[in-house]
Amino acid sequence: MVISSSNNYSKSNPDLLEISSANKINFKRFKQNGQIQIYQSSYRGSYSSIIRDGLRNAALGKKVLLVQFMKGGVKQGVANQLNLCGNLNWVRSSHSYDQYDSEEIENNKNLEKSIHESTNELWNLCKKELITGESDQIILDEIFLAIEMKIIDKDDLISTLENRNISGDVILTGTDIPKELLLMANQITQLRS
């Protein structure tokens, strides 16, 4: 397509913007979002390479948030995050499914409620980080299991990812990944044993 510089063209096209060199225009530089990367495996606990890469990025000066939704045993929670290398905030749920037998959870509704609340507290932290863009990389470990168990809403995750302001990558891991999220991904890696 060739655009003519004649006055007739600009008069017949009101969407055309005339810029003269006498007028200085300050354009606001927009922040480009990083990639959405999905790592899928047929079994849980196979994401040590992703955690290693997060630690490496933190050592190189990037601010990394690593959230393990379904891991527990260290009673961290949002208030007790671990900080490694000065740049990696590692947080696990204060109560998680991994800490208890499934039968114990089924028989104790207060325990199940506590696990759900703790997981949602992690998700709220992640949403804040994704929207504010304060981290350079965010790793959401086993978030798809939290979705499968109906603790985190899939549509809320999709909406948050669509409106994210993080300049770096968002890494999501899990076994069963919803089709809508696969379609959003820039990179999908299937890990094999």
Q: Report yes or no on 47 lying in a domain.
A: yes
Assigned domain for 14 exists: no
| pLDDT, position 115 | 85
What is the model's pLDDT at position 137? Answer: 95
Strand, helix or coil at 174?
A: strand
Question: CATH no. for residue 79?
Answer: 3.40.50.300
pLDDT tens digits for range 72-123 = 666 677 878 878 888 999 998 887 777 777 788 888 888 888 888 989 999 9
Number of structural domains (the chain) is 1
Residue 97 lies in a domain: yes
Q: What is the pLDDT of residue 7?
A: 46
| Gap between the Cα atoms of 192 and 136, Å rounded | 28
Give the pLDDT confidence score for residue 75 in this predicted structure.
66
Per-residue model confidence (pLDDT) at position 176: 87
Residue 10 lies in a domain: no
Q: Write out residues in the chain with pLDDT < 70, as ranges.
A: 1-32, 43-46, 72-75, 193
pTM of the complete model: 0.77
Work out the number of other CB atoms within 10 angstroms of the CB of residue 39. Answer: 21
Per the domain annotation, does 18 fall within a domain? no
Range of the domain at 114: 34-191
In a domain, 143, yes or no: yes
Residue 84 pLDDT: 82
On whether residue 22 sits in a domain, the answer given is no
H or E, element range at 158: helix 154-162
What is the end-to-end Cα distance of the chain in Å, rounded?
Answer: 52
> Are 138 and 50 within 8 A, CB to CB?
no
User: Is residue 27, in this structure, part of any structural domain at all?
Assistant: no
Side-by-side strand order, sheet with 137-141: 82-84, 88-92, 64-68, 137-141, 170-174, 36-41, 187-191
| Type of residue at 59 | A
Residue 45: the pLDDT is 63
